Amino acid sequence: AQSVTQLDSHVSVSEGTPVLLRCNYSSSYSPSLFWYVQHPNKGLQLLLKYTSAATLVKGINGFEAEFKKSETSFHLTKPSAHMSDAAEYFCVVSAYSNYQLIWGAGTKLIIKP
Partner 1 sequence: GAGVSQTPSNKVTEKGKYVELRCDPISGHTALYWYRQSLGQGPEFLIYFQGTGAADDSGLPNDRFFAVRPEGSVSTLKIQRTERGDSAVYLCASSPRTGGGEQFFGPGTRLTVL
Q: Residues interacting with partner 1, by CB under 8 A?
A: 32, 34, 36, 41-46, 49, 51, 90, 92, 94, 97-101, 103-106
SS3 55: coil
Measured from the CB atom, the residue of 13 and 89 that comes closer to partner 1 is: 89
CB of 84 to partner 1, least distance (A): 18
Q: How many CB atoms lie within 10 A of CB 91?
A: 28
Measured from the CB atom, the residue of 73 and 104 that comes closer to partner 1 is: 104
CB of 26 to partner 1, least distance (A): 15
CA gap 30, 69 in Å, rounded: 9
CB of 113 to partner 1, least distance (A): 25
Measured from the CB atom, the residue of 18 and 39 that comes closer to partner 1 is: 39
Q: Mind spelling out the 3-state secondary structure of 20-47?
A: EECEEEECCCCCCEEEEEECCCCCEEEE
Q: Which amino acid is at 102?
A: I
Instruction: Quote the DSSP letter at residue 81.
Output: -
Measured from the CB atom, the residue of 28 and 41 that comes closer to partner 1 is: 41
